[in-house]
Structure 1
Amino acid sequence: MLRKNKERRISLLRYWTTRYAITLAIGLLVLAMLSVVWIRHTTLENRLDVSEFLAAELASRIAGNQQEAAGGQETYLDDDMIEARDELMKMESPPSIFITDANGVILSASEQELYNRDSFPAVILKKDNDVQTFPSINNDNALVYLIKKPITVDDVTFGWVVMLQPEDEFADLNDEYRLLALLILGSGILGWAAIYILSRRLARPISAAAAAAKEIRNGNYGVSLMPSKAKEQEVYDLVTSFNDMAVRLEQLESIRAELLAGVTHELKTPVTSISGLLQAVKDDVVTGEDAKEFITISLNETERMQTMINDLLEFNTFAANALPVSTAPHELNALTRDIVHEWNLARNADSIPVHFHPGGHDLIVLTDPVRFRQIMMNLLNNAAHAIEGTGQMTVTVIDDGDGASIHVSDTGIGIPESEQTLIFERFYRGENKKYKVRGLGLGLPFSELLARAMDGDLELKETSPSGTTFTLKVKKVNVP
């Protein structure tokens, strides 16, 4: 654990930019090496081709002059030949040019640093290859390229044009290498800048979310992230979801505070009442029938407090999956009719009738009748509490095809819009109900857990100032 805490953490921006820079550098280095090999090869080939062309051109001019000359071999070095040689000399690294007779004897040479003999061996001139290499006379490790072209008149070879140039001058690629280095460096900087900008754009909302999460961890639930203008769907979802979570946590924290105050009040009130009543009996403040009435009231308060505690314990037990639910096939219309009849008998004095509308045919569903009764009784209790004065409640069974639904409707005051998303939260009690009905706010959350445990669901179907409808969905058994 200690080692884990000491592990170095780096920012997202630095993490991605450094790793991308390393990957980019390695990739560009490999690309540069391959490019150097390719440029060296292609440039050398191109320069050799150009040199061959110039040697052939020079040989052609000399052959043309030979045809017009009346004399012997001294005509090889006329003005045209000097002009052609000067064109070659204008090259950045001009080759050494030799003009020989048919036997290889050197008649003219631009310079003799690369070759200082009087003639070229016949075996070199007679080879089929116009481009050859041989070691330099000054440096055995360096190569010299030899390019030869015959001086031919009427298919008769009168001599040779020979060009010599060192390999390092042929392969002098400083300009090409500088251009390649510039391109590689520019690509690297551009690529790094792009990933830096993109990583920074991605890191900002994540950093903001992390900072806001620390505030929430410290108990400040009022934080929120600025609305994101990012085009990335994931970043937008992160910001909006975090804001929704923060609002939700703030609501739950408010509910938790109200729960603590509410539970304290709900339990303290009967305890105070019981204590006062029993103290009055003990001190003989009341006697006879009054004392018995005080004791009866104390017992009722005790029973009510015990009911709240049992609800709390039962909810926690079920939420921990420790309370079993046993489902079996039952006829939904008959099961619901019995519950409505029981309710009407028990609550006859309240003058709030419940009208039952069964389904058009028998509906066999999988349910636990005990848990089903708990859910229905809670929904009917809530419906009765929502009605102020006179009104009515309706229970309707509907066949949904794959399942069945029980709609519990009332003509009460409805649920405010601000409370509709919170009614299934544990311990939440609405403003209209908080001061009129005693309880812990576990009825609907517990009923929802029970419904889902039976492969069904409980949801708020609709609500308005003229009434509310809850829908209990159950799983239907298809009977052939």
Structure 2
Amino acid sequence: MDRGKNLLKKTPERRPDGRTRKRRATSILTYWTLRYFLILLAALAVIVAVALYGIRETAMENRSRTAAMLGQEVADRVKTADGSLAIPADLDRILDERMGLFNMNLDVCLLVADPQGNALFTRPRMTDEQVRQKLDPRPRSGEPEYQLIKTPVMGEGKEIGGVYISQFRKTPAYGSGELLMFVSVFGVLALAGWLTIYLLSRKLSRPIRRVAESARQIRNGRYDVDLDIRTGERELGELVDSFRGMAGRLHQLEEWRELSLAGVTHELKTPVTSIKGLVMAVRDDVVTGEEAKEFLDIALQESNRMERMVADLLDYNAFSSGNVAVRRDRLDLKLLVSEIVYQWKLPHECDSIEIDYAFPDEMIYTTGDALRIQQIVVNLLNNGLQAAHPDRPLRLHIAIREAEGRIGVEITDNGAGIREQDRDYIFDRFFRSEEKKRRARGLGLGLTYSRLLARAQGGELRLRSSGPSGTTFSLELPR
């Protein structure tokens, strides 16, 4: 039996007094099959009732038409050639044959009367009082409603009598065989409909059940879920594929979180250990004079580096939680970028860095926060400096381009480039490539924080290209 069929769990339900109580929730299989079956039964009951009523009314109409035909035949037989009424001696035999042929019930009454209402022939035999009652079509208390069909007997252009056939309206128009057939058809349709919805619901509930079980595993910290589900429905296939991809991504993020936590701890512990050792060496007179001063300078540099890493963490956390405001000023982008690059280059005058520009001749204005744009550009310049190739001097190319109502600030270096397997993750928080781990210390928040700053100003930060000859980043801003 399918496990989802009897799946029951508790869900909170709010009472009118504000308290919460537990309500039983059923599985999709039970919920759909039960309700569909009840709806199907109700619909089939209505259909059968309408069909039975229609068949009964049709049968009554056919019986009335048959009675009228019988009355016309009797009227033709009781009329003589001279225009008078005469009852044939074999009329009973003829009626027996006709009623057997027309399959008429025995409760049919037939009368032949003159214009004054005097009965000349009755079948079955009736008294004068019964004849008068039959000829009176008004319903009487305690007597079933009946239908009176009159066929006039015409002779020489005038009515010389009439044939009256009386039959009960409430006479069943169908027998036990017909009722059995209706019940059988009703049962087969109900069973077929229920079986259909049961099979479809089970086919639908199985992959959902598997996805729910996998979600519980992920909630419990197990990310290596097995979702080998084959389904022909496109929507279910998309659901399973999306969930499988989400599970893989969560697994990857959890691994990165653990590695990042270890990396952040290591990066913060390293300068603390270094500062502690340097200060202890000075305090214990291990070094003195100029050497002690040099040790203190190194300790100060390490403390400054640790302060920058802590500031990066605080800035990232503050901005990602929405606690940092971004200004919306009208800025001269050419002038702003030129000043940022000039200020950044001053501490690196001793380094062999070549910088060339490709700015348009006209003025370029954008809307944004000058301080946040400076943070982004400086971070991209520092990345270019860290990616410098050891066999060639660093060359930075800075361009401003316009396209489709947006302005792009492109910064291209001639460094070693980013490995292809790392390009999809460089904007993830705490991600650092193996080269950066070996050559530079940091927390891996620079590009992540820069992209957040760009998006907060209505722009975007993208990796345009990267290869052995260099890397290009593009900061897109609104015009």
| TM-score where L is the length of structure 2 | 0.85
Aligned partner of 1:203 among 202, 205, 208? 205
What displacement does 1:262 show?
Answer: 0.3
Aligned partner of 1:87 among 62, 86, 98? 98
1:14 alignment partner in structure 2: 30
- Is contact 2:109-2:167 (8 Å) kept? no
- Secondary structure of residue in 1 paired with 2:389: coil
Structure 1 residues 195 and 416, CA gap change in structure 2 (3 angstroms): farther
What displacement does 1:458 show?
Answer: 1.0
2:272 alignment partner in structure 1: 271
2:452 alignment partner in structure 1: 449
- Secondary structure of residue in 2 paired with 1:254: helix
Residue-by-residue CA offset, 1:180-223 (whole Å, 9 max, x unaligned): 44444444334333333333333233222211110110111122
What is the number of equivalent residue pairs in this alignment? 459
C-alpha separation in 1, matches of 2:89 and 2:355: 129
- Secondary structure of residue in 2 paired with 1:229: coil
What displacement does 1:68 show?
Answer: 10
C-alpha separation in 1, matches of 2:20 and 2:255: 36
- Secondary structure of residue in 2 paired with 1:406: strand
2:470 alignment partner in structure 1: 467
What displacement does 1:456 show?
Answer: 1.5
- Is contact 1:99-1:159 (8 Å) kept? no
Structure 1 residues 92 and 211, CA gap change in structure 2 (3 angstroms): farther
- Is contact 1:101-1:158 (8 Å) kept? no
Residue-by-residue CA offset, 1:359-395 (whole Å, 9 max, x unaligned): 2321011122221111001111112222322252221
- Is contact 1:145-1:167 (8 Å) kept? yes
- Is contact 2:354-2:395 (8 Å) kept? yes
- Is contact 2:207-2:229 (8 Å) kept? no
- Is contact 1:357-1:396 (8 Å) kept? yes
C-alpha separation in 1, matches of 2:22 and 2:118: 83
Structure 1 regions of 5+ residues with no counterpart? none
1:47 alignment partner in structure 2: 63
- Is contact 2:85-2:160 (8 Å) kept? no
Q: Does the alignment pair 1:421 with 2:442?
A: no
1:147 alignment partner in structure 2: 149
What displacement does 1:451 show?
Answer: 1.1
1:377 alignment partner in structure 2: 378
Residue-by-residue CA offset, 1:117-149 (whole Å, 9 max, x unaligned): 48834x976x9xxxx4655xxx93423433332
Residue-by-residue CA offset, 1:423-467 (whole Å, 9 max, x unaligned): 222212223322322111110111111112222111222233433
C-alpha separation in 1, matches of 2:291 and 2:323: 44
1:242 alignment partner in structure 2: 243
Structure 1 residues 159 and 72, CA gap change in structure 2 (3 angstroms): closer
C-alpha separation in 2, matches of 1:72 and 1:201: 78
1:189 alignment partner in structure 2: 191
- Secondary structure of residue in 2 paired with 1:9: strand
C-alpha separation in 2, matches of 1:312 and 1:97: 105
C-alpha separation in 2, matches of 1:327 and 1:470: 23
| TM-score where L is the length of structure 1 | 0.84
C-alpha separation in 2, matches of 1:5 and 1:343: 63
Give the AA of the match of 1:197.
L
- Is contact 2:334-2:364 (8 Å) kept? yes
Q: Does the alignment pair 1:77 with 2:89?
A: yes
C-alpha separation in 1, matches of 2:247 and 2:130: 95
C-alpha separation in 1, matches of 2:219 and 2:118: 96
Cα RMSD, aligned residues only: 3.2
1:111 alignment partner in structure 2: 124
Matches within 5 A, 1:34-433: 34-63=50-79, 66-67=80-81, 73=86, 76-78=88-90, 82-90=93-101, 91=103, 93-96=105-108, 98=110, 100=112, 102=114, 104-112=117-125, 115-117=126-128, 120-121=131-132, 132=137, 140-155=142-157, 159-169=161-171, 171-172=173-174, 177-226=179-228, 229-233=231-235, 235-389=236-390, 390=392, 391-433=394-436
C-alpha separation in 1, matches of 2:130 and 2:35: 62
- Is contact 2:358-2:399 (8 Å) kept? yes
C-alpha separation in 2, matches of 1:146 and 1:367: 97
C-alpha separation in 1, matches of 2:85 and 2:478: 119
What displacement does 1:31 show?
Answer: 4.1
C-alpha separation in 2, matches of 1:150 and 1:265: 117
What displacement does 1:95 show?
Answer: 4.7
C-alpha separation in 2, matches of 1:404 and 1:369: 15
